[in-house]
């Protein structure tokens, strides 16, 4: 599970249910080994430090060209669980269906900026206390009902309803009182906020925020009626399903006639299906390098990349010794070379993070960072009374990158005299027993959160997803100042300061952003995915 | 005979009860519960508390167990904690799919391996024996998931004869599953057959060296008659128990192989249920496994009685 599922909240790995037990993980590992050995010959593709062949064997981009109209795309996806639902607001939503069936008010464009979806424009009042969204006209749901402001308001109320238990409710509830939403006319939604927030529209780009019809809470999980480019034909939890082109979609008909979704829990089984030509695309699947090389070498399939699709973290619990001391945290960061970890663990397929969790694609990202300095790290440790620091670093087979990353960190930090003991924990309870429990471990998140949500969910004191338990009132106040700042340039500066704050004082080491290696058929054209955005309108198949 | 069977049934019921207690305790001992496992990273304290209350996980463990036993006695195995569906129907559906694999596997593995084992025994130390013995040793040593992967690469990727994975859910029809049955069945049969071949070979060699076979030969019986009428029944006796144990092993081996092929069978259901800590489903599957074990062993014992000359001659045909 795995595969992890998803329900991955704040940018977390989407799949939180480990899709693989130890048994299955072993099977998958064995399978990948067998596969790479059989098909490509033993290339000596060791993952030994520095010895890995560059990821050059894996193509950098999928075949380009325009798709031909029509056709059916077959997607293999990791199921979340038997309790999967089509309700976008639910923690148990079947992620892949959402973008095909629904639209949001606002989405994130390829440049990282907000882009219109069902809202054509939006503006705050002068203090960013009230936001007004002008909604698109002439949009109809799949059942023919026109989309109006009542649906948009209902969607927000549905997310905030305690009975929905939506992960996004924790983000929106402090800002929005569902009783105060106003719809002055059928194409205008007015959202008064409890506290000023100049970034509010970005919070509606989350995949829990897809717009559902007014009053649909009880049925939406099965009907999947939205305004998206595809309408539901069939759906089974953790089973097969099908969506077909919605001819009356407001942005035009999609290229494809239909998409078949198949759920395949085991990652090795998913790539076997691709190699055998049974499916065309593996969604939410970051192939390990051995499997990726096998896929790239086959006639039927190749590898596409979702750039910087996930960010890897070594969170230090700031409530546990020795990480309560900010000097130790700084030393841990200065001690290792992110470029080295990137080279070893990702074979270069990504971008060095330099402990800044804000992805390079985000317009607010700052490039400045302290330099790798083992001597300074040693010095800081000495002052903190932790010379020759020895700590346990937990990893698991939950994700193929965790252990290489831990070993690369271990090797790099050894130069500053830090002794890391890498410990492997069970994959299937990794996120219940290790994450947020052990002082130092390996984890990752999916990128795609807007900066306000990212910093507030993962780094603000008291947040449910604050994996370092870091709590600094000065930092929280800085976040409050930033989100209340209506001047765009000034707000960007404040978010820059916040990033510097995280880099210098926070508990999270962010060695790198990793490209997701996506297994894809050579017939697929127009694949485009970034963050939580997947282009269902434009994707298609090569003509005959 | 009847007292024998009655005794076995009583001890079987005891085994079932004991296994249900053990499984229940084992699942309790696993870290996390349904709420934390299903929610994963979204398992914020309030979300977990809400889900626990909804699933009555907030009640003490022994209360939930006695509730379960009460229901099970009346044939009600409860509902899956994850999907909310009745366990009986859900497990039954997956079990039916697995039986399809099991049937094909047992048919091929048992007949094939018996023939091979006997041939190897009869041609002891000659080339058919060397060939069969080496092949079965290899089959025994390679884990089933490797066999499965090799078969997929050979027969679905390189030579696209069979589907690599099953894309249908548990509700697939037999017609939809049939093309996908062969590779999983072959993977299991290869591993399973190896043990039976070795056992059959050894017992055939033992029996062929025994005095009564020599006597039969001296009486001038044809080799065919010696082997089929006199040697085989005795040689099959020890093999029967190996076959029984292997059939029972299937239910475990199937878990790994079904996952590799995404086959919607009971092994895959077991894996996801354990990951999700879906206790009612795990209990039902454990019960089924225990029943299969008990039945296989009972069948082997009865088969042994039928093949044992002493038992066969007891009923009035005494000379």
CA-based nearest residue in chain B for residue A23: B256
| DSSP assignment of B212-258 | HHHHHHHTT--HHHIIIIIIHHHHHHHHHHHHHHHHHHHHHHHHHHH
Structure token pair of residue B231: 């040697």
Task: Provide Rg for chain A, Cα atoms.
Answer: 23
Collapsing DSSP to helix, strand or coil, A125 comes out as coil
A-contacting residues in B 147-206 (Cβ below 8 Å): 148-150, 152-153, 156-157, 160, 163-165, 167-171
Q: Please, which pLDDT band fits residue A65 given cuts at 50, 70 and 90?
A: confident
Q: What is the pLDDT of residue B1?
A: 65
Q: Please, which pLDDT band fits residue A26 given cuts at 50, 70 and 90?
A: very low
CB atoms B276 and A238 under 8 Å: no
B93-307 maps to which CATH number? 1.10.3720.10
Looking at the DSSP assignment, which residues form a beta bridge with residue A122?
Answer: A133
| H-type alpha helices, A62-165 | 95-101, 149-160
**Alpha-carbon gap: A21 to the closest alpha carbon of chain B (Å):** 7
Looking at the DSSP assignment, which residues form a beta bridge with residue A114?
Answer: A108
Q: What is the pLDDT of residue A202?
A: 94
- The residue that leads in pLDDT, A35 or A206, is A206
Q: What is the pLDDT of residue A304?
A: 92
Structure token pair of residue A107: 């989405």
pLDDT at A418 > cutoff 50:
yes
Structure token pair of residue A527: 């694949």
CA-based nearest residue in chain A for residue B164: A273
**Alpha-carbon distance A445 to A11, whole Å?**
5
Measured CA to CA in angstroms, residue A285 lies from A19, A303, A401, A435, A514 at distances of 11, 11, 13, 21, 13
Measured CA to CA in angstroms, residue B301 lies from A45, B9, B242, B251, B295 at distances of 52, 13, 12, 20, 10
Partners of A398 on chain B (C-beta within 8 Å) are: none
Flag the least confident range among A538-542, B180-184, B272-276: B272-276
Looking at the DSSP assignment, which residues form a beta bridge with residue A315?
Answer: A508
**Could you say which of B82, B85, B153 has the minimum Cβ distance to residue A38?**
B153
Q: Please, which pLDDT band fits residue A23 given cuts at 50, 70 and 90?
A: very low
A-contacting residues in B 248-307 (Cβ below 8 Å): 255-256, 259-262, 264, 268, 271-272, 274-276, 278
Q: What is the pLDDT of residue A9?
A: 36
Measured CA angle at A293 (ends A289, A296), to 5 deg: 135
CB atoms A82 and B272 under 8 Å: yes
Dump strand ranges (E) for A6-57. Answer: 15-18
Q: Own/partner pairs for A25-28, CB < 8 Å, 24+ apart?
A: A25/A397, A25/A427, A26/B145, A27/A266, A27/A268, A27/B145, A27/B148, A27/B256, A27/B259, A27/B260, A28/A266, A28/A267, A28/A268
| Average per-residue pLDDT for chain A | 87
pLDDT at A49 > cutoff 50:
no
Collapsing DSSP to helix, strand or coil, A72 comes out as strand
Q: What is the pLDDT of residue A398?
A: 87
Flag the least confident range among A162-171, A509-518, B309-318: B309-318
Burial degree of A489 (CB within 10 A; 0-12, 13-18, 19+): exposed
CB atoms A8 and B271 under 8 Å: no
pLDDT at A11 > cutoff 50:
no
Measured CA angle at A531 (ends A530, A537), to 5 deg: 50
Q: What is the pLDDT of residue A253?
A: 95
Mean pLDDT of A266-292: 91
Q: What is the pLDDT of residue A53?
A: 43
Tokens 């062929």, located at residue: B208
**Alpha-carbon distance A43 to A237, whole Å?**
40
Collapsing DSSP to helix, strand or coil, A33 comes out as helix
Q: What is the pLDDT of residue A315?
A: 96
Partners of B262 on chain A (C-beta within 8 Å) are: 264-266, 269, 273
The answer to whether the beta carbons of residues B52 and B33 sit under 8 Å apart is yes
Which of A83, A238, A259, A427 best tests the B interface by mutation, with the highest count of B CBs <10 A?
A83
Tokens 């889900």, located at residue: B51
**Alpha-carbon gap: B50 to the closest alpha carbon of chain A (Å):** 9
Flag the least confident range among A69-73, A478-482, B262-266: B262-266
Residues belonging to chain A: 544
Q: Please, which pLDDT band fits residue B313 given cuts at 50, 70 and 90?
A: low
Which of B41, B261, B264 best tests the A interface by mutation, with the highest count of A CBs <10 A?
B41
Q: Please, which pLDDT band fits residue A520 given cuts at 50, 70 and 90?
A: very high
The answer to whether the beta carbons of residues A508 and A468 sit under 8 Å apart is yes
Q: What is the pLDDT of residue A420?
A: 95
Q: What is the pLDDT of residue A207?
A: 94
The CB-side HSE value for A311 (13 A sphere, CA atoms) comes to 25
- The residue that leads in pLDDT, B243 or A226, is A226
Measured CA to CA in angstroms, residue A377 lies from A220, A326, A384, A416 at distances of 54, 12, 11, 6
Q: What is the pLDDT of residue A57?
A: 64
Mean pLDDT of A70-80: 92
Mean pLDDT of A427-446: 90
Flag the least confident range among A59-63, A114-118, B40-44: B40-44
CA-based nearest residue in chain B for residue A435: B41
**Could you say which of B156, B256, B262 has the minimum Cβ distance to residue A23?**
B256
A-contacting residues in B 58-77 (Cβ below 8 Å): none
Q: What is the pLDDT of residue B309?
A: 62
pLDDT at B136 > cutoff 60:
yes
- The residue that leads in pLDDT, A392 or B212, is A392
Measured CA to CA in angstroms, residue B131 lies from A360, A415, B109, B142 at distances of 61, 56, 17, 17
Boundaries of every domain in chain B: 93-307
B279-307 and B266-276 helices, crossing angle to 10° = 140
Collapsing DSSP to helix, strand or coil, A512 comes out as strand
Structure token pair of residue A193: 């906020």
Q: Please, which pLDDT band fits residue B75 given cuts at 50, 70 and 90?
A: confident
Q: What is the pLDDT of residue A21?
A: 33
**Alpha-carbon distance A44 to A81, whole Å?**
37
**Alpha-carbon gap: B243 to the closest alpha carbon of chain A (Å):** 25
Collapsing DSSP to helix, strand or coil, B40 comes out as helix
Q: What is the pLDDT of residue A375?
A: 92
Q: What is the pLDDT of residue B288?
A: 83
Partners of A265 on chain B (C-beta within 8 Å) are: 259, 262, 268, 271-272
Collapsing DSSP to helix, strand or coil, B64 comes out as helix
The answer to whether the beta carbons of residues B229 and B219 sit under 8 Å apart is no
Q: Please, which pLDDT band fits residue A51 given cuts at 50, 70 and 90?
A: very low
Collapsing DSSP to helix, strand or coil, A80 comes out as coil
The answer to whether the beta carbons of residues B118 and B286 sit under 8 Å apart is no
| H-type alpha helices, chain B | 2-29, 34-39, 45-54, 61-73, 87-122, 127-141, 144-152, 174-208, 211-218, 223-225, 232-260, 266-276, 279-307, 309-314
Partners of A272 on chain B (C-beta within 8 Å) are: 149, 152, 156-157, 164-165, 260
The answer to whether the beta carbons of residues A285 and A267 sit under 8 Å apart is yes
Label the pairing between strands A188-192 and A241-245. unpaired
CB atoms A278 and B165 under 8 Å: yes
B157: DSSP letter = I
Question: Per the omega criterion (within 30 degrees of 0), is the bond before B103 cis?
Answer: no
Structure token pair of residue A189: 């939604």
- How much of chain B, in percent, has pLDDT values that exceed 70? 94
Structure token pair of residue A154: 């209902």
CB atoms B45 and A464 under 8 Å: yes
């Amino acid at each position: 599970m795995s595969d992890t599922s998803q329900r991955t909240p704040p940018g977390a790995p989407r799949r939180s249910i480990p899709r693989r037990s130890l048994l299955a993980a072993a099977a998958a590992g064995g399978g990948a080994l067998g596969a790479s050995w059989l098909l490509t010959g033993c290339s000596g593709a060791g993952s030994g430090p520095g010895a890995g062949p560059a990821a050059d064997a894996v193509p950098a981009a999928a075949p380009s060209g325009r798709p031909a109209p029509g056709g059916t795309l077959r997607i293999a996806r990791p199921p979340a669980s038997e309790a999967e639902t089509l309700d976008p607001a639910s923690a148990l939503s079947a992620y892949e269906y959402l973008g095909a069936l629904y639209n949001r008010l606002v989405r994130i464009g390829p440049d990282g900026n907000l882009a219109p979806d069902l809202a054509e424009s939006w503006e705050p009042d002068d203090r960013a206390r009230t936001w007004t969204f002008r909604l698109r006209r002439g949009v109809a749901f799949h059942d023919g009902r026109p989309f109006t402001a009542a649906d948009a308001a209902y969607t927000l109320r549905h997310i905030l309803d305690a009975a929905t238990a939506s992960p996004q409710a924790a983000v929106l509830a402090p800002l929005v009182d569902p009783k105060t939403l106003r719809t002055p006319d059928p194409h205008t939604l007015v959202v008064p906020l409890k506290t000023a927030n100049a970034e509010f529209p970005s919070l509606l780009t989350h995949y829990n925020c897809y717009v559902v019809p007014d009053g649909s809470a009880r049925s939406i999980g099965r009907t999947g009626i939205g305004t998206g480019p595809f309408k539901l034909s069939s759906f089974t939890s953790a089973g097969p399903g099908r969506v077909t082109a919605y001819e009356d979609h407001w942005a035009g008909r999609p290229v494809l006639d239909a998409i078949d979704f198949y759920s395949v829990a085991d990652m090795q089984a998913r790539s076997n299906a691709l190699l055998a030509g049974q499916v065309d695309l593996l969604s939410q699947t970051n192939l390990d390098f051995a499997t990726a090389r096998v896929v790239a070498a086959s006639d039927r399939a190749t590898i596409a990349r979702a750039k910087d699709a996930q960010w890897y973290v070594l969170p230090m619990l700031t409530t546990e010794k020795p990480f309560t001391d900010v000097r130790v945290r700084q030393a841990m960061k200065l001690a290792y070379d992110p470029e080295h970890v990137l080279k070893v663990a990702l074979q270069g397929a990504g971008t060095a993070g330099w402990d800044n969790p804000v992805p390079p694609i985000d317009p607010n990202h700052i490039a400045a960072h302290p330099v790798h300095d083992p001597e300074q790290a040693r010095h800081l440790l000495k002052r903190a009374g932790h010379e020759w620091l020895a700590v346990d670093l937990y990893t698991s087979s939950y994700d193929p990158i965790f252990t290489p990353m831990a070993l690369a960190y271990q090797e790099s930090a050894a130069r500053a005299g830090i002794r890391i003991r890498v410990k492997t924990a069970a994959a299937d309870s990794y996120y219940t027993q290790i994450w947020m429990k052990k002082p130092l471990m390996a984890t990752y998140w999916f990128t795609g959160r807007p900066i306000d949500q990212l910093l507030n969910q993962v780094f603000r004191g008291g947040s449910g997803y604050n994996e370092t338990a870091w709590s600094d009132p000065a930092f929280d106040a800085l976040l409050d100042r930033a989100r209340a700042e209506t001047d765009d340039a000034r707000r960007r500066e404040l978010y820059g300061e916040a990033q510097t704050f995280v880099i210098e004082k926070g508990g999270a080491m962010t060695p790198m952003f990793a490209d997701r290696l996506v297994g894809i058929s050579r017939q697929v054209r127009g694949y485009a995915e970034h963050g939580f955005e997947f282009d269902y309108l434009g994707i298609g198949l090569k003509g005959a | 005979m009847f007292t024998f069977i009655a005794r076995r049934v009583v001890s079987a019921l005891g085994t079932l009860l004991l296994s249900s207690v053990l499984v229940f305790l084992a699942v309790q001992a696993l870290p996390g519960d349904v709420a934390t496992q299903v929610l994963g990273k979204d398992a914020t304290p309030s979300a977990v508390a809400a889900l626990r209350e909804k699933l009555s996980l907030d009640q003490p463990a022994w209360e939930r167990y006695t509730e379960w036993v009460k229901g099970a006695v009346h044939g009600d195995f409860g509902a899956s904690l994850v999907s909310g569906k009745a366990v009986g129907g859900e497990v039954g559906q997956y079990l039916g799919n697995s039986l399809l694999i099991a049937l094909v596997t047992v048919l091929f593995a048992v007949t094939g391996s018996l023939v091979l084992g006997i041939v190897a025994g009869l041609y002891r130390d000659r080339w058919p024996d060397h060939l069969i013995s080496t092949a079965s040793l290899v089959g025994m040593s390679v884990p089933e998931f490797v066999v499965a992967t090799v078969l997929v690469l050979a027969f679905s990727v390189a030579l696209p004869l069979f589907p690599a994975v099953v894309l249908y859910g548990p509700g697939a029809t037999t017609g939809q599953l049939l093309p996908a049955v062969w590779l999983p069945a072959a993977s299991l049969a290869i591993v399973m057959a190896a043990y039976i071949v070795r056992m059959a070979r050894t017992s055939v060699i033992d029996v062929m060296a025994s005095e009564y076979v020599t006597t039969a030969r001296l009486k001038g019986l044809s080799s065919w008659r010696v082997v089929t009428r006199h040697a085989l029944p005795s040689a099959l006796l020890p093999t029967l128990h190996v076959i029984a144990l292997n059939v029972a092993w299937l239910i475990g081996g199937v878990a790994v192989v079904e996952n590799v092929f995404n086959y919607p069978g009971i092994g895959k259901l077991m894996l996801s249920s354990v990951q999700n800590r879906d206790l009612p489903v795990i209990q039902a599957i454990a019960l089924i496994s225990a029943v299969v074990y008990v039945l296989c062993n009972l069948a082997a014992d009865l088969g042994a009685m039928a093949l044992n000359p002493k038992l066969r001659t007891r009923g009035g045909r005494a000379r």
